[in-house]
């Protein structure tokens, strides 16, 4: 899979999109369509929302394909306040299992991975990046 990174700048923050990680949950499009609209080119138009709205939406990205950096040099804020204290699990119809909250993932002999905000785990079995969803469920027409 190609390792492409696209950046969209509104002057205050830069939205970063890594398409290879996208699980196509469409949460960004449904949550803030004035900024995230896959029918447009470019599909991210940061001037369509406030910086705070964009940050709130990016923090809901289940795959981590969307992230942001503040242009003033501050690093990415990792946690959304609304999901810090509890874990919520949501199977997406015909898609991944979303886990909201901080999770420690032990996978094989690899170093444990710590994920904040939302993590998408593969339910279809076809991901090339298990245990994480890589969007393959849409290509194979997964139903479940
Ligand atoms: S659920 Fe998305 S790749 Fe398997």
Q: How far is the CA of 9 from the centre of ligand 1 (A)?
A: 30
**Kind and range of the H or E element at 68?**
strand 66-70
Give the nearest ligand 1 atom to 123 CA: 1
Q: How far apart are CA 7 and CA 62, in angstroms?
A: 18
For 115-137, how does the pLDDT look when each residue is reduced to its tens digit (9 = 90+)? 767 788 899 999 998 888 888 88
Q: Name the region of 69 (left: φ>0; alpha: ψ -120 to 50; beta: rest).
A: beta
pTM value is: 0.55
Measured in Å, residue 144 CA sits from the centre of ligand 1 at 11
- Backbone phi, then psi, for 99, in 5-degree steps? -120, 115
Task: Give which of 56, 32, 51 is closest to 43, Cα–Cα.
Answer: 32
Q: Which atom of ligand 1 is nearest to the CA of 95?
A: 1
d(CA 13, CA 112): 30
- Structure confidence by residue, pLDDT tens digits, 38-91: 999 999 999 999 999 999 999 888 887 888 877 765 444 444 444 445 788 888
pLDDT digits (tens, 9 = 90+) for 14-27: 888 888 878 888 88
Task: Look at residue 51 in the predicted model and tell me its pLDDT.
Answer: 93
Q: Give the nearest ligand 1 atom to 127 CA.
A: 3
Q: Is 51 helix (H, G, I), strand (E, B) or coil?
A: helix
Q: Which CATH number fits domain 6-70: 3.40.190.290, 3.40.30.120, 3.30.70.20, 3.40.640.10?
A: 3.30.70.20
Domain ranges in the chain with CATH number 3.30.70.20: 6-70
């Amino acid at each position: 899979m190609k390792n492409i990174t696209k950046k969209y700048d509104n002057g205050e923050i830069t939205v970063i999109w890594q398409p290879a990680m996208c699980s196509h949950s469409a949460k960004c499009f449904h949550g803030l369509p004035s900024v995230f609209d896959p029918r447009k080119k470019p599909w991210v138009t940061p001037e369509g929302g406030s910086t705070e709205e964009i940050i709130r939406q990016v923090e809901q990205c289940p795959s981590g394909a969307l992230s942001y950096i503040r242009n003033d040099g501050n690093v990415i804020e990792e946690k959304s306040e609304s999901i810090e204290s509890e874990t919520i699990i949501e199977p997406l119809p015909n898609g991944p299992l979303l886990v909201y909250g901080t999770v420690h993932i032990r996978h094989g002999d690899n170093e444990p991975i710590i994920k904040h905000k939302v993590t998408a785990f593969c339910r279809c079995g076809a991901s090339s990046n298990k245990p994480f969803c890589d969007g393959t469920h849409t290509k194979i027409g997964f139903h479940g």
